[in-house]
Amino acid sequence: MRVTLSWLREHVDLPAGLDADGLEKALVKVGLEVETMTDTGATVSGPLVVGRVESIEELQGLKKPIRYCLVDVGGEQPQGIICGARNFAEGDTVIVALPGAVLPGGFAISARKTYGRVSNGMICSGQELGVSDDHEGIIVLPPKTAKPGDEARPLVGLDDIVVEVNVTPDRGYCFSVRGIARELSHSLGGAYRDPVAAVVPLKGDGAPAYPIEVLDSVACDRFTAVAVRGADPAAPTPQWMRNRLATAGIRSISLPVDITNYVMIEMGQPMHAWDLGRLTGPLVVRRAQAGEKLTTLDGVTRALDPEDIVIADDTGVVSLAAVMGGATTEVSAATVDVLFEAAHWDPRSVARTIRRHRLPSEAGKRYERGVDPQITAVACARAAALLAEYGGGTVSAGVTDVSAVAAPEPVTMSVTRPSELAGVEYSPERVLEILAMIGTEVVADGDLLTVTPPSWRHDLNDPADLAEEVLRLDGYDRIPSVLPIAPPGRGLTATQRRRRTVGRALVDAGYVETLCYPFVGTPTIDAMRIPADDPRRDTVLLRNPLSDEEPALRTTLLPPLLATLRRNLGRGLRDLALFEIGLVFLPAGPLGVAPAAGVDGPPSAEEFAAVDELLPRQPWHVAAVIAGDAEPAGWWGGGRPADWADAVEAARTVAAAAGVELTVRAAAEAPWHPGRCAALLVGDTVVGHAGELHPAVCADLDLPRRTVAMELDLDALPIPGVSIAPRLSSFPTALIDVALVVDAATPAGEVEAALAEGAGPLLESVRLFDVYSGAQLGEGRKSLGYKLTFRAPDRTLTGDEALAARDSAVAVAASRLGAVLRGA
């Protein structure tokens, strides 16, 4: 919303010396966002004068039309000026920048020879002077506006301050001079003169200005119309009105249309001008019907939606209500009878129509934020009076005014509510003063206030809204900025420390952490071959997803992590090891609807509990994926591609960092290869899986063959108690290797557990270093080689003690798993 300071001064008493900086501070004080502040007097320097075109010579033999003009600028002789514009003629009054002037952007004007003639200046357009975006032609002033040589700045608004305010959705009333002037009166304390109060609505003679029928009072609860007949279609828009519209970024079109735009900027009430001679039958406000179309003023034919609000006559739809009129009934250069319309439309319907047709407009911006339904009659009276004054028309006696406007709902608030909200003491007198200042009607009953908002404040619907107005207008600067004192000594929780420890351990192992969006789609779950009855298919759908392809929250970390792996592979990387620690979302059943909560206080414990019951379970998981070589090739030798064992080792790294013992056993779980998948257990509880992805999964997800992955439920891992540092023995170790022949299906982890149990307390560590299978062992048999490390805390072990411990370990493995000492 752009407006000049001089226009604001017409409606509010401002200090005489108020400059751009002071105006900006005054607007910011009441919570308005100032985008730009421009002192137009400083944008153009040097001689800028009024000129009258004496003669025009069309230069021949050029690629584009060029004119050589003699312009009277008040001197002894007219000045010759080259100009390419075509929208002026001999005798017209124009704006001339003489040599020595500097236009916006640092464009300096000087006498120069061009097209074989000397040009002593420039005839200016609105864009060149920075007063509008119109560059289709130069500025032509109405006749007798000024004489040649007069200072031109006041005529085009270059002696003013222009402020541009970013109007937020809740402050729609500030999309007008009326609203901004009211806010300035609150900020600076000057007397406010409401432009609406200065206009007397037309009472009419009881007859309608034009027959109107409103079939949908929800979509349109107020429709007012006034007719002006016999207007001069050639009457020009006064220059002062053109200047103000140009400042607001609106191009001058014709006097009736310019008047509707001017009243919209002044009062905030969008309007529409109809050519009465082109209407057939009564106007009907209704919803569009299936198959209807409308050619709007921009020349585009639009297919209408049954939710669109339209205005129709006997010929069909003639206007897309509140957004844009139709081409068949627009005001033209031959229009003499004009029907002015001002209405109040449903903001939600207007907003949806604007987005549905991708048709933003100045009227739509205001309607979707909410306009004052009580000023339609005033707006029509103001528009009719302007057209009668400047276009010579006669205002008809009839007035159409269809109204079904509901009174604003009163809001009940405690007089102490603002003080409770801000922590600043506001006296009851100050609260009542501010509420009256913004136009509310207040009935006090002790400490309880019943407040009826004014018709232009659709945003005041709750006690918190009223309390915020008190805070805003009394001054946000009065509210101290006090940081809360953080309670000391709490630090990280045990689960937070574990997550950080696990992340550091994986990074130390060579993995790179990623943060993925927690969204997933059914095609990805299908590609992972997850069975139909698997709980991971029970996802939580989002009501407004970022992407329709991923409308659900993930139940496993692998889909977004594998997508990140694929994306990086596509960018040229070949050897990748990625991991993520994040939440998954596991619903226990259909999600219910959360209970409504007010804003007058914090939710109660019962409300919190009710909401928590509806939320899906959200455990922390950790997942890792590897593609390419786990060990790169180089001068030191060949590399090693990643395999299922690397995924298992990643799980062991997580378990070690979390301080738990992990048991590994064979399993079959999607999306892993059924013969290369391991279940990860803590005790008897499966906490995750690791292994090589199924070849079909790799193909469907466009991943390299033999890609491996691991996922583990971090929250399922028990948090160990306080760790006691072990006593370190200074005595030497005894190292003994054993090779045990077992059945090929026997997991190495079970053999290792049996050896550890049998060896007793002297065993310090056991490590698998060799796996062998061959014909000499027999079919279905394999040999596992383990290195056993023995040490006593208080003495050097003898050979017999070490051998006895080894024999005990082998005996337990033999009895439990049928292991045989190789070579025995």
**By the 8 A CB rule, do 226 and 202 touch?**
yes
pTM of the model: 0.64
Return d(Cα 32, Cα 21) in angstroms, integer. 14
User: Which two structure tokens, joined as six digits, stand for 606?
Assistant: 């019962």
Return d(Cα 761, Cα 793) in angstroms, integer. 10
- Could you give the dihedral angle defined by the CA atoms of residues 714, 718, 722 and 723, in that order, rounded to the nearest 10 degrees? -80
Tell me: the pLDDT tens digits for 559-585? Answer: 999 999 999 999 999 999 999 999 999
Runs of H (alpha helix) within 539-676: 558-570, 605-614, 644-658
pLDDT at 756 over 90: yes
pLDDT at 495 over 90: yes
pLDDT at 600 over 90: no
Return d(Cα 584, Cα 399) in angstroms, integer. 64
What are the Cα distances from residue 311, in Å, to 269, 345, 377? 18, 12, 19
Return d(Cα 175, Cα 369) in angstroms, integer. 9
pLDDT at 103 over 80: yes
What pLDDT, on the 0 to 100 scale, is given for residue 726? 77
Partners of 768 in beta bridges: 786
Residue whose token pair is 């392809």: 549
CA angle (416, 422, 428) in 5-degree steps: 30
pLDDT at 597 over 80: no
243 backbone φψ class: left, alpha, beta (φ>0; ψ -120 to 50): alpha
What pLDDT, on the 0 to 100 scale, is given for residue 529? 94
pLDDT at 592 over 80: no
Give the residue-averaged pLDDT of 336-340: 96
What pLDDT, on the 0 to 100 scale, is given for residue 69? 96
In the three-class reduction of DSSP (H, G, I as helix; E, B as strand; rest coil), residue 360 is classed as: coil
Return d(Cα 745, Cα 784) in angstroms, integer. 12
User: pLDDT above 70 covers what percent of the chain?
Assistant: 100
Return d(Cα 257, Cα 343) in angstroms, integer. 16
User: Which two structure tokens, joined as six digits, stand for 444?
Assistant: 């006090």
- Could you give the dihedral angle defined by the CA atoms of residues 758, 762, 766 and 770, in that order, rounded to the nearest 10 degrees? -80
Return d(Cα 436, Cα 192) in angstroms, integer. 14
Give the residue-averaged pLDDT of 24-45: 91
Q: Residue 391: which pLDDT band, with cuts at 50, 70 and 90?
A: very high
**By the 8 A CB rule, do 583 and 616 touch?**
no
What pLDDT, on the 0 to 100 scale, is given for residue 624? 97
Give the residue-averaged pLDDT of 9-35: 93
Tell me: the pLDDT tens digits for 446-473? Answer: 999 999 999 999 999 999 999 999 999 9
Tell me: the pLDDT tens digits for 791-811? Answer: 999 999 999 999 999 999 999
Nearest CA to 502 out of 583, 580, 617 is that of: 580
706 backbone φψ class: left, alpha, beta (φ>0; ψ -120 to 50): left
User: pLDDT above 90 covers what percent of the chain?
Assistant: 78
Tell me: the pLDDT tens digits for 758-795? Answer: 999 999 999 999 999 888 888 889 999 999 999 999 99
Element (H, E) at 674: strand 672-682
Runs of H (alpha helix) within 233-305: 239-247, 255-267
Neighbours of 410 (CB within 10 A): 15
**By the 8 A CB rule, do 568 and 576 touch?**
yes
pLDDT at 720 over 90: no
Helices (H) and strands (E) in the chain, counts: 21, 43
Tell me: the pLDDT tens digits for 534-554? Answer: 999 999 999 889 999 999 999
Q: Residue 315: which pLDDT band, with cuts at 50, 70 and 90?
A: very high
pLDDT at 824 over 70: no
Partners of 103 in beta bridges: 107
pLDDT at 607 over 90: no
Tell me: the pLDDT tens digits for 2-21? Answer: 999 999 999 999 998 898 89
pLDDT at 489 over 80: no
